[in-house]
Amino acid sequence: MFRKTTLKNGLRVITIPQKEGQAVTVLVLVATGSKYEKKELNGISHFLEHMFFKGTKKRPNTTAIAETLDKIGGIYNAFTGEEYTGYFAKVDANHLDLALDWVSDIFLNSRLNSSEIKREKGVILEEINMYYDNPISYVQILWRELLYGDQPAGWNIAGTRETVLGISQDKLKNYLRNQYVAPNALVCLAGKIGLSSAIKKVKKSFSEIKTGKALGKPKVIEKQIRPDCLLKERKTDQTHLCLGVRSYNLFHPLRYAQEILGIILGGMMSSRLFIKVRERLGLAYYISTEVSSDLDSGFLVTSAGVDNKNIEKAISTILQEYKDISQKKVPATELKKAKDYIKGKTTLQLESSDALASFYGIQELLERRILTPEQIYDRINKVTADDVLKVSRDIFKPQKLNLALIGPFKDKSKFLWTMRKF
């Protein structure tokens, strides 16, 4: 069971007790990320996340921030996405007060020192370089660029060299002031906690959080009338690709059918694409299919790395699996396997307090509602083979196909020709 409490200042508190656990996680989420940024400030959400580890008045530098939880063997980190940013600490339940103090301190009291900002620009630029040097990571960035183009949904979360270098102390403080307000944030406590005492502790720790109305984000614009391809020429031994389609957002009635479709295609080691592309044809070491659903956009994409000479065969094979599943209903046994896979994996993941905090917190932050695992399982169980077929027929159309790839090729016309035959 969980409890949602809204404090007078608008801050939401989600508490999820775990009687059998010995750990506790404190997670703070803010409904802001790269989709909320202006072009000249691309990367500022991610930059601010980095700066929260650089010092507060109470813990004046990075060492003091890190040592606080290192001394008790705590796990701590932060993350930035398109729709939200999060900060968390996971500790032995006996150290809940310390974890709350630490998270609230960096969240509310980070100093954003100008010398640290200057130094951190170099760190972030190296992070960007790291992703660009790794084609497995870079092709994922290209995928979103291909789908959404020059709008926030298509920009790199970390920003560009130019935008990162242009971020100043004033810009960070202004962004913090606009977005990091009580109604736009929530605190999750999961693990070995007492409900009433936990809420009182959060109320005390976050009493200084600012109130106000956060700035919204522009709606994602999606325009596509024919297959599209984004090719980055690079001398590699493998071609790395993302091949998929535009699909449904978080609120679509066939959302769970879409998730099951992704699992059947490439979400597990016995999925259709894993067996066909890797085990039978030997074309790839890694291949997987992911379904992503955001507030107002979504996609299904298959990622793989293949020998350069096998790229056309790999693309054709993936497209054939897309076509097959859109022409014939999934057998009952395969449908049941996918459902049981999702439910089983979710159950295993939710044994840890940090996963519980994310599971409940992100639902509340994005959807303004929370479904328990059992309620989600009920929706999954109701998905029929007809539902999966309906999704497949709707999304697997030539005009929705997109291909991003990195490899030693100069001309993308042959790849577009393959997709047009779909």
User: What are the catalytic residues?
Assistant: 49
Alpha-helical segments (H) within 52-113: 62-70, 96-109
Q: Please give the Cα distance from 380 to 344 (Å, whole number).
A: 12
Are 385 and 393 contacting, i.e. CB atoms less than 8 angstroms apart?
no
If 0-12 CB within 10 Å is exposed, 13-18 middle and 19+ buried, where does residue 333 land? exposed
Q: Please give the Cα distance from 393 to 49 (Å, whole number).
A: 41
Residues 6+ positions from 405 with CB-CB distance below 8 Å: 139, 142, 229, 230, 231, 232, 239, 240, 241, 242, 311, 415
Are 178 and 277 contacting, i.e. CB atoms less than 8 angstroms apart?
no
Name 77's bridge partners. Answer: 88
Structure tokens at 312: 């056309």
Orientation of helix 195-205 relative to helix 96-109, angle to 10°: 30
* DSSP H or E segment with residue 147: helix 135-148
Are 281 and 315 contacting, i.e. CB atoms less than 8 angstroms apart?
no
